[in-house]
Structure 1
Amino acid sequence: MLSEPSTATVRATLPAVGAAIGDIADLFYRKLFDAHPELLRDLFNRGNQASGAQRQALAGSIAAFATQLVEHPDTRPDVMLSRIAHKHASLGITPAQYDVVHTHLFAAIAEVLGDAVTPEVAAAWDEVYWLMANALIAIEERLYAQQGVVAGDVWRDWEVVSRTEETEDVATFRLRPADGSPAPAFRPGQYVSVQVELPDGAHQIRQYSLSCAPGSTVRSITVKRVRGGGAPDGEVSRQLHEQVRAGDRLRVSAPYGDLVLKSAEAPLLLASAGIGCTPILSMLEHLAESGHRTPVTVVHGDRSPADHAMRTDHAALAGKLPDSAAHFWYEDPTDGHPADRTGLVDLSGLAIASGTHAYLCGPLPFMRSVRTQLLAKGVAASDIHYEVFGPDLWLAS
């Protein structure tokens, strides 16, 4: 909880800080990477830095956390903190790195806001930072302990057992620990980080959902090649698609992620678009293997059947459940596809069972649309869960 003097100061300065937070985040990253270029080379996603997505997410999360502290002092945004902590844990972030961030973030705040940063203002926002940082450090320590790893050492070498071309731009890589030890347990919907050495010597990291069930003897990641925009956009997916074959090795983290099935008894709606089907497929396979009995509605949207990665598996896994229905929408369908399943996902014709828990994964506009439709159908906001591939601009907005 923020102290009373700091609460008053943060409340008074929040509009000014909020208005400048984008400039602060931009300057912070420039200062950070000038001082520690290895962080941009080997830790931060260069694509997200180039697009500005990471700066936008950082700015939004700080502003959202500060607003929560002053507007709802008896609670904290645990959903946001959990999401960030899982991402950090998959990268092996250490407590010491929060000190590095603090140094350059507060240098940026002082430079952007100038004389407005009095000692009282600096102390109040310092308190905000360390409340957020220490909360994340505590969550991350628990996440590391659950996987039996330590901060900064979440990586193992994995061997590529096989690869399957799912579509022109999507490939599935099946992996096993290179040392022959058991693969770490995970929950359906979680992801791993994959570290790839690029031609320029950088070791870039991206997260990929595990597209298999936890009972599998090997682990699968399904990777969509990102095209357009040029480097650094899609540089890791391009490397995986063009260079990685059976017998090669990858550096893979322990599994993390908070988009996991939270109720085994509730009716479920599993909605995805594009490559967002990957965590949903893991959930479906797990539900089929565990004998799930309550209703499951499967929803997916894509450009065309040819672009729908693992379309056959998607339908087959849904068909294994005793009370399920699968609905696929395509913007460019093949002949014979139902007219009411053409275009964007439209839930108006679907009956949604009372008490449904919904799990969404896909592009942000898709998830916003589906969430709005579910709320209109009476699904509780607390029962709608989602995963964003990349910086979470929705949660921090």
Structure 2
Amino acid sequence: MLNDKTIQIIKSTVPVLEIHGTAITKRFYELLFSNYPELLNLFNHANQRQGKQQTALANAVYAAALHIDKLEMILPAVKQIAQKHRSLGVKPEQYPIVGQMLLKAIKEVLGDAATDEILGAWADAYGVIAGVFIEVEAGMYQAAEQQEGGWADYRAFRVERKIVESEVITSFYLVPQDGGAIATFEPGQYVSVKLDIPGEANTHIRQYSLSDAPGKPYYRISVKREDTLQNRPAGKISVYLHEQIGEGDVLHLSAPAGAFTLDQQDERPLVLLSGGVGLTPMVSMLKTIVTANPKRRVIFIHAAQNGDVHAMKQQVDALASLHPQVSNYVVYDKPTMNDRSLQAFDKEGYIDLPWLKKVIPTTNAAFYFCGPVPFMRMMNSTLKEFGVDAADIHYEFFGPAGSLEAETEAQPQR
């Protein structure tokens, strides 16, 4: 445990971290990768280039400093990060390296303001925080390996089927190459996929939500192809999966992980809101709940540009037709002529509060949403304005955790 003096010193640095946190974490990653280039195999290089990882770490460090006297306050965030670490294969021996580089970054960025006393306090605090992560992750590693059908690290899976779901999303049905059983998972969880791409110096690891219900002899991931956009390069991994990985090829997967999971004990109505490829964990939740609790009311709302890029629509429509307790709504902001002729959508434009009030009969429900960050910011602010209790709002970031409060929430784009 930390003594009172150390706690006070750490708390005194909170205003500094609020200002210089991202500069510190940016320098931290530069030092980490220049001194330990092998760790590049664990990180998403695109998130590094876009600054997402630096911002996420800065937010985590700031939260740890703010709650250093009550670390239980950040335990949910610790468990979420630990799930990602377990799926990536982060090891206990890597924590001292991280601590050393973090302290060096603090000193370089803050200069003389980072006194020996402050650095000593942060060294002590980091030791305590790292210990929490190591302990939590040890339990997760053990559970992942010892569960029925479980395994440690990565396991080879063969692509049994490759199905085009839309112009931009393709599903991969994956079965274990060794023919053994596979671990179950909670709807909403993901697997890490590790790829060694010819010509690439480093291994690439990406997380993809499991898009089918548990209990099948396969895992299904549904991958959106991220092509070049303005100010953003193409998604190297998604393009490789779409273009180079076919039926019969082998991918290496971690055991399922993730803290964004469906509470199946809740009997209240379930509202599932998704934008774009954010529907993947929602489809898993929908497929699970109609079997596990067929009496539970479900409202499934998906937003996409149009029917050309709307994946798994027929699957969701079929479930809704078979299960009268499921209400299914589609929102397109740029519907095609074909969408209009088929009457394939329920609302043109964006999901807004007046429309939500028409299709959702009560705020006493469980709300789950996932999609691009602007979409999630809009859903978060809209649900709050609707009067939904914060405890009933659940969401998942694809990539490093961010803040839904960080930017103006009046941008309804996807």
Residue number in structure 2 paired with 1:139: 136
Query: What are the within-5 Å matches in structure 2 for residues 1-80 of structure 1?
Result: 2-40=2-40, 42-69=41-68, 73=70, 75-80=72-77
Residue number in structure 2 paired with 1:342: 348
**Whole-angstrom CA distance in 2 between matches of 1:394 and 1:154:** 30
Residue number in structure 2 paired with 1:276: 278
- Give yes or no for contact 1:80–1:396 (8 Å, CA) kept in 2: no
Amino acid at match of 2:57: L
Q: 1:197-241: per-residue Cα shift (whole Å, max 9, x none)?
A: 112232100000111111211111100111115997411111111
Bigger shift: residues 327-336 or 226-235: 226-235
- Residue 162 of structure 2 aligns to a residue whose secondary structure is strand
Q: Residue 171 and residue 340 in structure 1: after superposition, are their counterparts in 2 closer, same or farther (change >3 A)?
A: closer
**Whole-angstrom CA distance in 2 between matches of 1:107 and 1:354:** 48
The number of residues matched between the two structures is 393
Which consecutive unaligned segments of at least 5 residues does structure 2 have?
407-414
Question: Which of residues 375, 388, 391 in structure 2 aligns to 1:379?
Answer: 388
2:236 counterpart of 1:227: no
Question: Which of residues 251, 271, 294 in structure 1 aligns to 2:296?
Answer: 294
Structure 1 runs (4+) deviating above 6 angstroms are none
Residue number in structure 1 paired with 2:402: 393
Task: Give the deviation of 1:382 after TM superposition.
Answer: 1.1
**Whole-angstrom CA distance in 2 between matches of 1:132 and 1:227:** 39
- Give yes or no for contact 1:293–1:321 (8 Å, CA) kept in 2: no
Query: What are the within-5 Å matches in structure 2 for residues 218-367 of structure 1?
Result: 218-228=218-228, 233-264=234-265, 265-333=267-335, 334-335=339-340, 337=343, 341-346=347-352, 347-367=356-376
Residue number in structure 1 paired with 2:169: 170
Bigger shift: residues 371-380 or 292-301: 371-380
**Whole-angstrom CA distance in 2 between matches of 1:198 and 1:74:** 40
- Give yes or no for contact 2:330–2:345 (8 Å, CA) kept in 1: no
Amino acid at match of 1:302: A
Task: Give the deviation of 1:170 after TM superposition.
Answer: 1.1
Q: Residue 187 and residue 113 in structure 1: after superposition, are their counterparts in 2 closer, same or farther (change >3 A)?
A: same
Task: Give the deviation of 1:18 after TM superposition.
Answer: 2.5
- Residue 307 of structure 1 aligns to a residue whose secondary structure is coil
User: Normalised by the size of structure 1, how large is the TM-score?
Assistant: 0.93
Q: 1:173-218: per-residue Cα shift (whole Å, max 9, x none)?
A: 0001100010111111110000111122321000001111112111
**Whole-angstrom CA distance in 2 between matches of 1:127 and 1:192:** 34
Q: Could you say what the CA RMSD is over the residues aligned between the two structures, in angstroms?
A: 2.2
**Whole-angstrom CA distance in 2 between matches of 1:86 and 1:395:** 21
**Whole-angstrom CA distance in 2 between matches of 1:30 and 1:359:** 36
Q: Residue 103 and residue 139 in structure 1: after superposition, are their counterparts in 2 closer, same or farther (change >3 A)?
A: same
Task: Give the deviation of 1:166 after TM superposition.
Answer: 1.0
**Whole-angstrom CA distance in 2 between matches of 1:59 and 1:352:** 40
User: Normalised by the size of structure 2, how large is the TM-score?
Assistant: 0.89
Residue number in structure 2 paired with 1:94: 91
**Whole-angstrom CA distance in 2 between matches of 1:22 and 1:263:** 38
- Give yes or no for contact 2:329–2:345 (8 Å, CA) kept in 1: no
Q: 1:265-312: per-residue Cα shift (whole Å, max 9, x none)?
A: 221111110000001111111112224312111111111011111111
Residue number in structure 2 paired with 1:183: 182
- Give yes or no for contact 1:160–1:250 (8 Å, CA) kept in 2: yes
- Give yes or no for contact 1:69–1:76 (8 Å, CA) kept in 2: no
Task: Give the deviation of 1:158 after TM superposition.
Answer: 0.5
- Residue 68 of structure 2 aligns to a residue whose secondary structure is helix
Amino acid at match of 2:34: D
Bigger shift: residues 332-341 or 308-317: 332-341
- Give yes or no for contact 1:50–1:232 (8 Å, CA) kept in 2: no
- Give yes or no for contact 1:47–1:233 (8 Å, CA) kept in 2: no
**Whole-angstrom CA distance in 2 between matches of 1:254 and 1:357:** 27
- Give yes or no for contact 2:158–2:248 (8 Å, CA) kept in 1: yes
**Whole-angstrom CA distance in 1 between matches of 2:227 and 2:205:** 17
- Residue 272 of structure 1 aligns to a residue whose secondary structure is strand
Q: Residue 256 and residue 267 in structure 1: after superposition, are their counterparts in 2 closer, same or farther (change >3 A)?
A: same
- Give yes or no for contact 1:159–1:247 (8 Å, CA) kept in 2: yes
Bigger shift: residues 209-218 or 226-235: 226-235
**Whole-angstrom CA distance in 2 between matches of 1:185 and 1:339:** 34
Q: Residue 26 and residue 149 in structure 1: after superposition, are their counterparts in 2 closer, same or farther (change >3 A)?
A: farther
**Whole-angstrom CA distance in 2 between matches of 1:345 and 1:295:** 20
Question: With CA pairs under 8 Å and 6+ residues apart, which has the higher RCO, 1 or 2?
Answer: 1
**Whole-angstrom CA distance in 2 between matches of 1:178 and 1:384:** 38
